Amino acid sequence: MQRSYFDDKKQNTVLVFLVIVSVLIILSLASDVLLWVLNLDRFSLGLVRIYFAFTLDSADSWWPINEAVQVYAADPEAGIYQTVFFEKKIKFQYPPMSLLPFVAFEKMGYGFHAVVKLMMLLSFVSIIGIILSLYRTVVTSCSAIGEGEFIKGRSMKVALLAMLIIGTLTFYPVVNGYRLGQVQVFINLAICLMFMCWLENWKLLAGIMVALAAIVKPQYGLILIWALFRKEKDFLIGMLLVLIPTGIASLIVFGFQEHLDYLSTLSVMGQHGEVYRSNQSMNGLLNRLLSGMSTIEFQFYSFAPYNVIVHAGTLISTILLLLFGMFYRPGSNKSVSAGELNLNSALDLATMVIIATIVSPIAWSHHYATFWPILILGFLVAIKIFQKQRNWLSVVNLVLLSVSYLFVSNYFYWALDDASVIDPPWNLLQSYIYFGGLILLISLTVMRRTIKTGFANVISK
């Protein structure tokens, strides 16, 4: 009789998951207490305070977007990117289609400050949505691995929800994006909803969610190519239902030349990138090693100087990672249940989300907020694998996940702000979030390789 990979003697994976993730959160908070004792920065506890302070005046994304909208409103023929990006040197990096709702706000008479307040209010609510969608993702995933019975009790539900609330509000990229006033908060919610819908087998809706993210961050459009290779028809249709009409509307409103100008903008950013410490990418790492510029001072009106080694290194790493994401597929078994199959393919999809983030020449630390649902999913699967196999590889994989969580979720003052690590090669430490992303990618690969024939391996009794 063929049995599920996870259809084994019931062990409370949910409880172990709750304990491990809670311990990691406590370690992060404990490090903040230590920093407080040493009179240094303390960011995780500070993030909780920042969120509940309910700020409505942060505009890291909304200011350059407003500049672009004002240029368009004053003269639609002036050229948004030519004026804002190339002439004013303002780092407006979003595609034309992302401006559509803000142009509508402008026509309706909403001023800049009113729009900022609305966006920050929606950001506050979005983090609540992230928590709730993560909770549903955990419940669905537990059912898929045969552990649904352990999550039915009220006390376990309350404990899981409490852990997800605290974990989300102390996950540096998530709440720091909110603190800055970043559109990334909406992208985080869209990605969390994508995973939730995927695991519920609502593939079309999952495609809609990631397409909404791609409207603002075009690199998520790479997932459309992944969907083509994986023959995920419903998911692909969902993406196209959003991207095609939005793209047509953008062409009608802004014109073809504006979209060509955006490609020129992408080319400049791709060739140069950023030296600043928060750029957690191969480009940022190489620029910090080779440019000789300050890594702790953000350049508001300029990018890093062109360096052929940085450019080549960025391109090579991007190509290799994209090829891996598109073509690495250890195997699957179509005879398994929908829940098991969706959980297996969710790891494949998560791999592409990671790659789409880290291959960007400019990947700010708050962009890594999309790794939070991936870590949650990864811990559930890795713990179940460990309970079944209890070998060195399953132990190493749990360690990798834990290290990845600690790297990605925390603000390490000693690595980012301390003057002793701003010079090469010590400034490699400033790329610790990027390293955390690579470690997470390795961990997912190990898990996918371990369960390479899907969650329906034949297991001897």
pLDDT of amino acid 45 = 66
pLDDT of the residue at 315 = 97
Whether 359 shows a pLDDT value over 90: the answer reads: yes
What is the Cα–Cα distance from 283 to 301, expressed in whole angstroms? 18
pLDDT higher at 241 or 451: 241
239-267 pLDDT, tens digit each: 999 999 999 999 999 999 999 999 999 99
Which token pair is 227?
């969907």
Question: What integer is the mean pLDDT of 200-221?
Answer: 97
Q: Could you tell me if residue 363 is left (phi over 0), alpha (psi between -120 and 50 degrees) or otherwise beta? A: beta
Task: Express each pLDDT in 260-290 by its tens digit.
Answer: 999 999 999 999 999 999 999 999 999 999 9
Name 412's bridge partners.
Answer: none
Question: Which two three-digit tokens encode residue 228?
Answer: 């083509």
Q: What's the whole-number mean pLDDT along residues 362-385?
A: 96
How deeply is 260 buried, as exposed, middle or buried, from its count of CB atoms within 10 A (0-12, 13-18, 19+)? exposed
The per-residue pLDDT for 49 is 78
Structure confidence at residue 409 as a pLDDT band (50, 70, 90): very high
pLDDT band at 150 (very low <50, low <70, confident <90, very high): confident
% of the chain with per-residue pLDDT over 90: 72
Give yes or no for a contact between 223 and 349, defined as CB atoms under 8 angstroms apart. Answer: yes
What CA–CA distance (Å, rounded) separates 125 from 192?
Answer: 14
Residue 167 scores a pLDDT above 70:
yes
Q: Round to whole Å and give the CA distance between 435 and 398.
A: 16
Q: What is the DSSP letter of 96?
A: G
**Other CB atoms within 10 Å distance of the CB of residue 1:** 4
Q: For tokens 């870590």, name the residue.
A: 375
Beta bridge partners of 279: 364
Instruction: Give the number of residues written for the chain.
Output: 461
pLDDT exceeding 70 applies to what percent of the chain?
Answer: 89
Q: What is the DSSP letter of 306?
A: P
Overall average pLDDT of the 345-369 stretch? 97
Q: What's the pLDDT at 57? A: 77
Stretch among 100-114, 162-176, 405-419 having the lowest mean pLDDT:
405-419
Of the ranges 34-43, 121-130, 204-213, which one carries the lowest mean pLDDT score?
Answer: 34-43
Query: Confidence band (pLDDT; 50, 70, 90) for 109?
Result: very high
- Computed over every residue of the chain, the mean pLDDT equals 89
Q: What angle do CA 368, 372, 377 make, to 5 degrees?
A: 135
| Section 413-430 average pLDDT | 80
Displacement of CA 260 from its chain's centroid (Å)? 27
Angstrom distance (rounded) from CA 210 to CA 128: 19
Q: Is the pLDDT of residue 60 over 70?
A: yes
Question: What gap in Å lies between CA 273 and CA 290, rounded to an integer?
Answer: 13
At residue 333, the pLDDT reads: 53
The whole-number average pLDDT for the span 393-412 is 94
Amino acid symbol at 365? S
pTM of the model: 0.93
